[in-house]
Amino acid sequence: MMNIDRILLDLEKRNPGEKEFMQAVREVLESIEDVYNENQHFEALNIIERLVEPDRVLSFKVPWTDDEGKIHVNRGYRVQFNNAIGPYKGGLRFHPSLNLSILKFLAFEQVFKNSLTSLPMGGAKGGSDFDPKGKSSAEIMRFCQSFMLELWKLIGPDMDVPAGDIGVGMKEIGYLYGMYKKLSGNHNGVLTGKGINWGGSAIRPEATGYGVVYFITEMLRMRGDSIEGKRIAISGFGNVAWGVAKKATELGAKIITISGPDGYIYDSQGVSGDKIDYMLELRISNDDIVKPYSYEFTEVEYNPNKKPWEEPCDIAIPCAIQNEMDEADAERLIKNGCSYVCEAANMPCTRGAIDLFRKSGIIFAPSKAVNAGGVSASGLEMSQNAMKYSWTPEEVDKKLHQIMKNIHSTCVKYGTQTDGSVDYVKGANIAGFLKVANAMVDQGVI
């Protein structure tokens, strides 16, 4: 029988202070406990202990020179967590807050997320505590080149395929890929999120946000509802928020907020049209978000140092970073009559917030299901690279849409409770777990 407290206690002993990693593991274990206990061979093969230990954790020095000639050293990482169902796959994050606990939580989550996509991808994550904010393109290029000087030994199209995450967009992928190509002599597509003219896939930039909206559309459809006319509060202003705003607006919803580190803007007219394109410019400046937006579009309300969850909305979609939505935010959303909370960033809701959503009857969907569209499009980029062929945007979008529909129905299949309600957290975790655990059973103790 699974003893969650004992497993977590052991894990805490071996990984002191890794609170994000523990948070992610606890959520999965609590969800899969019953299924695990019903399948006694999992216990006999010690699947849980094998699942919570990453295959490999790599850390390396990344020295680089700034434009003034000053030399800096950052730390680079790659956590290759589990490759039972396919090559390691997952993004690279460049953010000053990055540490091993965050990377292990992200890589662990990626294992189950990738399993849900139905594509053959294992789970990994990497990155650096390098802060791209305020750096010149030349500095970013030198950093990426130095980073790849170590990383290239660890990756390969059938071994480990990195992509972007926070702080790593197409520009950084370009610099990383250029250096990989130079060192290895191979143009084999080993990174995803590449430029469309050099092996990238159509729709990859939009895919995470579009996937989020496709998932939500399914959730609503199942309940006889529709996204049209819904007021949606989102946080963040990056790639995910942009994709969500684009697709949700196209389908007739109204995006009423976006946010940055300096606060949030409330736009009663909705973030639409030119304003969505303007988000791309904000992304490049990457610093103050709220102020420039409110100068550009005067009708909006500027709320410095506050979170968007203060605004009454029908659907809340946190698109920024882990643990950005806490109990106080959850209470506000509940009080203001929000019906759905869907995680578009990785693990943006704290455990306390999720408990409150459950109690209040808000329908909550977890990131590993909701934001799996990004890595799904990455998987489709890998397929296209392997075929030396590319699909049209319509073809990729259709496949992405189908994948998100499948993920939703898989969550419903594994998450439907005796009272008929759907526990999306359970559904996503059980489905993601079973595929990986069964592959581990088939492949023996390795």
Just list the catalytic residues.
Answer: 125
- CA 36, distance to chain mean position in Å, is 26
Question: Which residue has tokens 């009454």?
Answer: 312
Instruction: Specify the stretch interacting with ligand 2IT by CB under 6 A; choose among 86-94, 133-141, 228-236, 393-401.
Output: 86-94
- Write the CB contacts of 242 (distance below 8 Å, at least 6 apart in sequence): 209, 276, 279, 280, 283
| Residue selected from 82, 201, 346, 429 as contacting ligand 2IT according to rule CB under 6 A | 346
List all residues 6 or more positions away from 79 whose beta carbon is below 8 Å from its beta carbon. 54, 56, 57, 58, 100, 103, 104, 106, 107, 124, 125, 126
Residue of 48, 51, 87, 89 that binds ligand 2IT (CB under 6 A): 89
* Number of residue whose CB is nearest ligand 2IT: 91
Contact 294, 316 (CB under 8 A): no
Closer residue to ligand 2IT (CB): 300 or 347: 347
327/360 Cα distance (integer angstroms): 12
Q: How far apart are CA 266 and CA 186, in angstroms?
A: 48
* Closest CB 374 distance from ligand 2IT, rounded Å: 4
- Rounded to a whole number of angstroms, the minimum distance from the CB of residue 91 to ligand 2IT is 3
31 binds ligand 2IT (CB under 6 A): no
Which 45-74 positions form the footprint of ligand 2IT (CB under 6 A)? none
CA 38 to CA 31: how far, in whole Å? 13
Stretch that binds ligand 2IT, among 11-19, 85-93, 227-235, 385-393 (CB under 6 A): 85-93
> How many residues make up the chain in this entry?
446
The answer to the question of residue 318 lying near ligand 2IT (CB under 6 A) is: no
- Min CB(345)–ligand 2IT separation in Å: 9
Site for ligand 2IT in 152-181 (CB under 6 A): 163, 165
How many Cβ atoms from other residues are within 10 Å of residue 55's Cβ?
A: 17
Q: How far apart, in whole angstroms, are the C-alpha atoms of residue 342 and residue 404?
A: 14
E strand or H helix that includes residue 210: helix 204-222
Among 119, 347, 375, 411, binds ligand 2IT (CB under 6 A): 375
Residue 304 has φ and ψ, to the nearest 5°, of: -65, 145
Among positions 112-131, residues that touch ligand 2IT (CB under 6 A) are 113
In degrees, rounded to 5, the angle at the alpha carbon of residue 408 between the alpha carbons of residues 194 and 372 is 20
**Binding segment for ligand 2IT among 23-31, 84-92, 94-102, 277-285 (CB under 6 A)?**
84-92
Please say which residue, 220 or 377, places its beta carbon nearer to ligand 2IT.
377
Least separation in angstroms between residue 2's CB and ligand 2IT is 27
Q: Which two tokens stand for residue 63?
A: 């020295």
Asked if residue 91 binds ligand 2IT (CB under 6 A), the reply is: yes
Residues that bind ligand 2IT (CB under 6 A): 89-91, 113, 163, 165, 192, 346, 374-375, 378
